[in-house]
Chain A
Amino acid sequence: GIQVEQSPPDLILQEGANSTLRCNFSDSVNNLQWFHQNPWGQLINLFYIPSGTKQNGRLSATTVATERYSLLYISSSQTTDSGVYFCAFTSGTYKYIFGTGTRLKVLA
């Protein structure tokens, strides 16, 4: 099956810093999305980004499907950005494959 790798696995930032999270996948994928799971367990859909670039406030995402990766940029990080970030996608079926996540902690 398709392999997915997220990096880095853990990240600690000072408030105000910028960061880039990466999602690599081993084959063609569909419906790539980024999620943020907050400390209370809620998963929020940040971006639906099968290709190209999107921006939403301090967050932006880029997917280069031909090179099999997606990036999530967080600028001017805030403590509320803490949590786990997942990428997910489908590959020919309805089943979504989730990465193992990047655990982010933003310090005040």
Chain B
Amino acid sequence: DVKVTQSSRYLVKRTGEKVFLECVQDMDHENMFWYRQDPGLGLRLIYFSYDVKMKEKGDIPEGYSVSREKKERFSLILESASTNQTSMYLCASSFFEKLFFGSGTQLSVL
């Protein structure tokens, strides 16, 4: 079975902190994604990576950056966390276009 692992299930941070969300997949997938999910707004794509060191902005990249130094790991970085970044963050990877999600990180920024 495909496994996409997100490092934290719950995270509480303070405004202005730099936050790292880590995602690891174990199936050598080329494509990895970061989404955020908010009530009433659905899933929104933040960033996408199609290879090591390759990335593309999604629909809402402002306030975020990403890093993909190794194929299996895709990190989402909040440079200076703000309260409006409180959300559920979901990482996904795809194999022949079939998407597999991690269990999500519920981030609260106080």
Contact = CB atoms under 8 A, between A and B. Distances in A.
The interface centre, meaning the residue of B33, B43, B45 with most chain A CB atoms within 10 A of its CB, is B43
Main secondary structure of the interface of B (DSSP, over half): strand
A95 B100 contact: no
Interface of B: 31, 33, 37, 42-43, 45, 48, 50, 56, 58-59, 88, 90, 92, 97-101, 103-104, 106
29 contacts: A31-B97, A33-B98, A33-B99, A40-B103, A41-B88, A41-B103, A41-B106, A42-B101, A42-B104, A43-B90, A43-B92, A44-B101, A45-B99, A45-B100, A45-B101, A48-B98, A94-B31, A94-B48, A94-B50, A95-B45, A95-B48, A95-B58, A95-B59, A96-B45, A96-B99, A98-B42, A98-B43, A99-B42, A101-B42
